[in-house]
Amino acid sequence: MKREGLLGRYWRHSATDHRSARRVFDDAALVRIQAAIADAERAHGGQVVFAVEPALPLARLHRGVSPRERALEVFGLLRVWDTEQNNGVLIYLLLADRDVEIVADRGIARVVDDARWQAICQAIEAACAQGRHVDGVVDGVVATGALLAAHFPAAGRSGNELPDRPVIL
């Protein structure tokens, strides 16, 4: 990464805090996203988790932690992997980088290729760039739900294994 790019990233992360995330994802937005997750999960046997992180600590930036690396960590921290059919999906937004990552557990990763997940990430990122963060996330949840429904029908559902409430880290 070029020096000015790295300095810009440091600036964005130091200027983005928990209040920044709460301005974008207020209580009404969190309820809307939670409802979208619950609605989508009625149509499939998978589990969807949405997490937004305002920024990374500067020490993590200095070590060059990428949004993808952090999303993989969050996938483990939130135990998205801990589902009976290994079909949990994390939609992770790193607000300061305006980067969306989707991490799918091995059960769903076997049947859905990365290009499909990338398309959903890009659609959410485009909505965020237009200031439509919540709409983008809701649309991403719906698209994720459609992929899960195609491979994990609701008939095989074993209950709600993970909370539907969005997480602000």
The predicted pLDDT at position 156 comes to: 56
User: Which H, E and C letters describe 17-72, residue by residue?
Assistant: CHHHHHHHCCHHHHHHHHHHHHHHHCCECCEEEEEEECCCCHHHHHCCCCHHHHHH
Amino acid letter, 115: A
Closest among 27, 139, 154, 169 to 87, alpha carbons compared: 154
Q: What are the tens digits of pLDDT across the range 46-69? A: 999 999 999 998 888 889 899 999
Share the mean pLDDT of the chain: 92
* CA angle (121, 122, 124) in 5-degree steps: 65
Write the DSSP assignment of 84-141 as a string of letters: TTS-EEEEEEEGGGTEEEEEE-HHHHTTS-HHHHHHHHHHHHHHHHTT-HHHHHHHHH
**154 secondary structure, DSSP code:** G
The predicted pLDDT at position 38 comes to: 95
Percent share of the chain, pLDDT over 70: 96
Closest among 153, 159, 144, 155 to 44, alpha carbons compared: 153
Q: How far is CA 71 from the centre of its chain?
A: 8
The predicted pLDDT at position 157 comes to: 61
The predicted pLDDT at position 159 comes to: 74
Q: What are the tens digits of pLDDT across the range 104-161? A: 999 999 999 999 999 999 999 999 999 999 999 999 999 999 999 998 888 756 678 8
The predicted pLDDT at position 16 comes to: 92
The predicted pLDDT at position 22 comes to: 96
Residue 18 pLDDT more than 60? yes
Q: What are the tens digits of pLDDT across the range 62-98? A: 898 999 999 999 999 999 998 888 999 999 999 999 9
Q: Which domains does the chain have, with CATH numbers?
A: 3-154+161-168 (3.10.310.50)
The predicted pLDDT at position 1 comes to: 43
